[in-house]
């Protein structure tokens, strides 16, 4: 049995991976992606983002997103849909601004309503708002915040809830996997959404980590519990653990320990619903193109061969 089977055996909903359309021409890659012993869930890495879906105003393009959704359906995998409102991969017709408050609210809610309605019934969860915070816990001053103020967040959640009452609605961010100003600010976002009378079901902890310096299991567990105390689920949504390349035997061993650390944290928190890695093979990781000289962040190597991290996650879930 594999990663998803073991995760389910301890009460989780899934173990999953991100993927992307350009990767689906690689038949060996697609075969492992569809191995439902390891992956019970997939997330589109790019093709449900605003620049893919609505590249020009009120012109919606669902081909690539649909390809991932139908792949998940065909494999019997849950789909985490990613994402609706984000400052990045936002087409310039939106990001360049110039809209007044009411117009941008209408643009944002139109985008959300159209996309969530298109995928209604297909998304286990939606990342409704992604990365709204700076690392110091202040709001990122993107076009949504600058034009609408913090109310854009509950407005976005209310629009998503109206379009698909059964999708779980998440706030998703990085560097909120341990206590501190940013995690506290994310907790305040949960409270704010609820105070506006809107629905939020979960918080996604992206978990883009570095080998040898991931937060301890106790740190991650107590941080997750701070969110759970607000009556939301949590999920590890984009796990990867990068290192200097080429990786060595010892960094790969430490990486295994680090993957187990996060797996154990999710295992320990009953409302941690599952773990998603941000693609499964180093071949298709976002890391090397963003952090020069770093990579090797995933449990499968460039040749789709499992690394020590694979066995480490498997045994962290338990003997099955």
Interacting residues toward ligand G3I by CB under 6 A: 45-46, 88-89, 130, 206, 238, 286
Q: Give the shortest CB-47-to-ligand G3I separation in angstroms.
A: 9
Shortest CB 212 distance to ligand G3I, Å: 20
- For the question of residue 115 being annotated catalytic, the response is no
Residues 6+ apart with CB under 8 A from 106: none
- Whether 177 sits among the annotated catalytic residues: the reply is no
Residue from 254, 160, 179, 244 nearest 218 by CA: 179
Which member of 54, 115, 177, 238 is catalytic? 238
Residue 158 CB, nearest approach to ligand G3I (Å): 23
* DSSP-assigned beta bridge partners for residue 55: none
C-beta closer to ligand G3I: residue 17 or 251: 17
Q: Give dist(CA 94, CA 144) in Å, integer.
A: 9
DSSP string computed for 264-312: HHHHH-TTEEEEEES-SBGGG-SHHHHSTTEE--SSB-TTS-B-HHHHH
Backbone phi and psi for residue 171, each to the nearest 5 degrees, phi listed first? -95, 135
- Asked if 230 and 187 touch (Cβ cutoff 8 Å), the reply is yes
Nearer to ligand G3I, 130 or 217 (CB): 130
> Residue 161, CB half-sphere, CA atoms under 13 Å: how many?
16
Which residue's CB is nearer to ligand G3I, number 2 or number 46? 46
Supply the minimum distance, in Å, between the C-beta of residue 25 and ligand G3I.
14
Residue number with CB closer to ligand G3I (223 or 285): 285
| Least spacing, CB of residue 130 vs ligand G3I, in Å | 6
- Which DSSP state fits 88? S
Among residues 54, 115, 131, 177, the one annotated as catalytic is 131
Nearer to ligand G3I, 175 or 317 (CB): 175
Question: By the 8 A CB rule, do 256 and 308 touch?
Answer: yes
Which single residue brings its beta carbon nearest to ligand G3I? 286
Provide the token pair at 301: 């190597």
Active site residues: 131, 238
């Amino acid at each position: 049995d594999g990663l998803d089977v073991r995760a389910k055996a301890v009460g989780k909903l899934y173990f999953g991976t991100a993927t992307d359309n350009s990767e689906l021409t690689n038949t060996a890659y697609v075969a492992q992606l569809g191995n439902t012993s390891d992956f019970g869930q997939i997330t589109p890495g790019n093709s449900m983002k605003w620049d893919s879906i609505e590249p020009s105003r009120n012109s919606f393009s669902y081909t690539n997103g649909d390809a991932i959704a139908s792949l998940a359906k065909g494999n019997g995998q849950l789909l985490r849909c990613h994402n609706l409102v984000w400052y990045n991969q936002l087409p310039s017709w939106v990001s360049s601004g110039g809209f007044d408050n009411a117009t941008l609210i209408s643009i944002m809610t139109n985008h959300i309503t159209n996309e969530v309605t298109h995928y209604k019934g297909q998304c286990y969860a939606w990342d409704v708002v992604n990365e709204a915070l700076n690392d110091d816990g202040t709001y990122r001053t993107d076009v949504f915040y600058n034009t609408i103020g913090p109310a854009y967040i509950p407005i976005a959640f209310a629009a998503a809830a109206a379009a698909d009452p059964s999708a779980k609605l998440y706030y998703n961010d990085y560097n909120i996997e341990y206590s501190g100003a940013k995690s506290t600010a994310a907790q305040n976002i949960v409270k704010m959404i609820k105070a506006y009378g809107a629905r939020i079901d979960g918080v996604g902890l992206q978990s883009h980590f570095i080998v040898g310096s991931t937060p301890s299991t106790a740190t991650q567990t107590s941080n997750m519990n701070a969110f759970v105390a607000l009556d939301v689920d949590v999920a590890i949504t984009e796990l990867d653990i990068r290192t200097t390349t080429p990786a060595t035997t010892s960094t790969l061993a430490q990486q295994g320990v680090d993957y187990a650390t996060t797996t154990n944290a999710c295992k320990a928190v009953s409302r941690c619903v599952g773990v998603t890695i941000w693609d499964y093979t180093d071949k298709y990781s976002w890391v090397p193109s963003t952090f020069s000289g770093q990579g090797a962040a995933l449990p499968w190597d460039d040749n789709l061969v499992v690394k020590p991290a694979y066995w480490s996650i498997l045994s962290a879930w338990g003997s099955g």
